[in-house]
Amino acid sequence: MTLTVLIRGEKEDKKFFDQNKTTLKDAYPAVVDDGQSMGVGLLQDYGLEPHGQYWALAAPKLLITSFRGMKIAQELKEFQNNILCYCWYGGNRKVHPANQHYVDSIEAKIGRKKREEILEMVPENLDQVLSLIKEKNIDFDTSELEEEIKEDRIKPTSLINRAIEDYNKSLEEYRKKEHKKSSLLKHLHL
């Protein structure tokens, strides 16, 4: 499984509280995709491949939420188990009530005001990121991009519009295939 780093945060030493309570030298938070899922990582460069920890979801694969989760991770100096999951949910504008405790924990660490500032951020190099996503053939949910355009936090570009069109087309194809399957199953059970 190859890990693709979509966006890198700033490098600095981070304390990671595992069994050894190690300090990760020159670690950087990142938005990552492993081919099956997208999320937030805390990585170091060793040789040709980045190494480290990451937390990701298979669905929905949310680029902007993952970016904001990375920005939250950038604010933290110490990492404990599952904190990257907390960062991801903290970077999400639409948190289900069952996951609100993640947001509360992040706001206790960085403050509500800082989290709200981060929720207004979008990647400056979004077109570059979208080019890499297309090059690596990574599927992701573009509903956030549509919302960010609607709220005037990002300006649509040809790459953004293409990503949205491609996602909506694949979603429509998936729905048609599923409808066909369910129709066939209903027919077979009659």
* pLDDT of the residue at 18: 65
* pLDDT of the residue at 19: 61
* pLDDT of the residue at 189: 64
Residue 67: burial class (beta carbons within 10 Å; 0-12, 13-18, 19+): buried
Q: To which residue do tokens 């991770």 refer?
A: 73
* pLDDT of the residue at 175: 87
Q: Are 125 and 8 in contact (CB under 8 A)?
A: no
- One digit per residue, the tens of pLDDT, for the chain of length 190 reads 688 999 999 988 888 776 666 777 788 899 999 889 999 999 988 767 788 889 999 989 999 999 999 999 999 988 887 899 999 999 999 999 999 999 999 999 999 999 999 999 999 999 999 999 999 999 899 999 999 999 999 999 999 999 999 999 999 998 888 877 777 777 676 5
* pLDDT of the residue at 58: 92
Cβ neighbours of 167 (radius 10 Å): 17
Instruction: Write down the pTM of the prediction.
Output: 0.88
* pLDDT of the residue at 53: 86
Query: How would you classify the pairing of strands 4-8 and 49-57?
Result: unpaired
* pLDDT of the residue at 107: 97
